[in-house]
């Protein structure tokens, strides 16, 4: 089989870097084009210290440079709004696209505007975009030309939540989502509040009163879980590079039966692992892997806490994107992805 040429736009952010690493280790995709607007003209290896060999020598193109004709799949790892424009260009050029920004995670421009505060530049593409939460959307992903790769917080929230919503056993109360994220999720731009000395030895909540991902969670809790819920979401930033842990504080019927519900949904999944009841996951257990680990502890008669962990750059971004790519091209879904963490 001849390899499939791909392009990565936004190649020098943390998500872009992770995409490069994954594609480099993938047996059936090849990188044919890397764009990184602010670094254009440099070699990839000058900006990304982890790269070696030929890929490190590849010249970075500008964001608007033409993508080679041979490229079949484009990954866009760009800020929102900028992403939509590149997606439009790529789709018009006949490429398939996996967009890692938030631009196509919503199904209409109103929700997008509520979350992002701007008018969407290309709402005409909404109808063709598939929300790529892999374990719940495989059939649609396989046929999609445009996959919206889910956000990290929504992935860590929706995976444990959807089976419980589908079982219709949760109380009709807001879903409390308390998330803790490593700092790489905040991106690579030179902001004073992301300096080492500001983040190290510190934790804080941010994004109040409503983080953008709350809308995404609600939209797809309805989309996949079939229930209109209110999500009360409080994210925190932690002194670590990778990793995301989401704590769901839930109430409902028979929490002692929820472990089985989760088990039934995910037992065949390679990249969602349910821990034995009472055991709770750590982010170290998934770092470097494409896994989402889920644990559940029953706290009382109608109360449980469900905890999920994933690597925000992998199952929360580049890893799920490659999983989507594998499905789009009818490849083994796990190609190029690790089930095991880089531990310690």
Residue written as token pair 């199904």: 107
Minimum distance between the CB of residue 84 and a copy of itself, rounded to whole angstroms? 26
> Active site residue: 152, 197, 292, 309, which one?
152
Cβ closer to a copy of itself: 82 or 335? 335
Q: Using CB under 8 A, pick the residue from 111, 142, 176, 229 that binds a copy of itself.
A: 176
Q: Which residues contact 10 (CB under 8 A, 6 or more apart)?
A: 16, 35, 36, 63, 76, 77, 78, 79, 83, 100
Q: What is the per-residue binding string for a copy of itself in 83-122, x denoting contact by CB under 8 A?
A: ----------------------------------------
Rounded CA gap, 207 and 213, in Å?
10
Phi, psi of 297 (to 5 degrees): -130, 130
125 vs 154, beta carbon nearer a copy of itself: 154
338 binds a copy of itself (CB under 8 A): yes
Q: What angle do CA 217, 139, 276 make, to 5 degrees?
A: 60
Q: Which is nearer to a copy of itself, 20 or 78 (CB)?
A: 20
Give 31-62 as a DSSP string.
EEEEE-GGGTTSBHHHH-TT--THHHHPBPBP
Give the three-state DSSP class for 252: strand
The site map against a copy of itself for 242-281 (x = CB under 8 A) is xx-x-x-x--------------------x--x----x-xx
Tokens at residue 29, please? 């995709």
Contact status: 335 vs a copy of itself (CB under 8 A) = no
Q: Which is nearer to a copy of itself, 145 or 178 (CB)?
A: 178
Label the pairing between strands 272-274 and 231-237.
unpaired
Among 206, 228, 264, 332, binds a copy of itself (CB under 8 A): 206
- Give me the active site residues, please: 152
């Amino acid at each position: 089989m001849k390899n499939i040429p791909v392009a990565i736009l936004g190649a020098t952010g943390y998500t872009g870097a992770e995409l490069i690493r994954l594609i480099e280790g993938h047996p059936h995709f090849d990188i044919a084009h890397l764009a990184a607007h602010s670094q254009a003209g440099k070699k990839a290896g000058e900006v990304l210290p982890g790269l070696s060999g030929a890929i490190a020598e590849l010249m970075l193109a500008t964001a608007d440079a033409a993508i080679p004709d041979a490229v079949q799949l484009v990954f866009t790892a760009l800020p929102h709004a900028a992403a939509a424009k590149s997606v439009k260009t790529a789709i018009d050029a006949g490429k398939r696209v996996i967009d890692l920004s938030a631009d196509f995670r919503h199904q209409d421009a109103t929700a997008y505007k509520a979350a992002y505060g701007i008018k969407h530049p290309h709402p005409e593409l909404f109808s063709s975009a598939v929300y790529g939460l892999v374990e719940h959307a495989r059939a649609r992903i396989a046929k999609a030309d445009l996959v919206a790769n889910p956000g990290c917080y929504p992935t860590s929230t929706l995976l444990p939540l959807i089976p419980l919503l589908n079982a219709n056993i949760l109380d009709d109360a807001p879903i409390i989502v308390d998330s803790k994220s490593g700092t790489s999720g905040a991106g690579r731009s030179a902001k004073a509040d992301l300096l080492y000395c500001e983040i190290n030895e510190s934790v804080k909540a941010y994004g109040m009163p409503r983080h953008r991902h709350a809308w995404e969670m609600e939209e797809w809790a309805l989309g996949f879980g079939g229930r209109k819920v209110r999500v009360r979401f409080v994210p925190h930033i932690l002194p670590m590079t990778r990793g995301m842990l989401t704590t769901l504080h839930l109430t409902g019927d028979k929490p002692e039966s929820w472990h089985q519900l989760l088990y039934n949904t995910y037992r065949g999944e390679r990249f969602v692992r349910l821990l034995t009841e009472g055991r709770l996951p750590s982010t170290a257990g998934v770092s470097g892997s494409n896994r989402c680990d889920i644990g559940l502890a029953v706290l009382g008669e109608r109360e449980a806490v469900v905890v999920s962990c994933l690597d925000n750059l992998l199952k929360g971004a580049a890893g799920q994107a490659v999983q989507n790519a594998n499905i789009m091209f009818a490849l083994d879904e796990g190609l190029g992805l690790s089930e095991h963490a880089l531990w310690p």
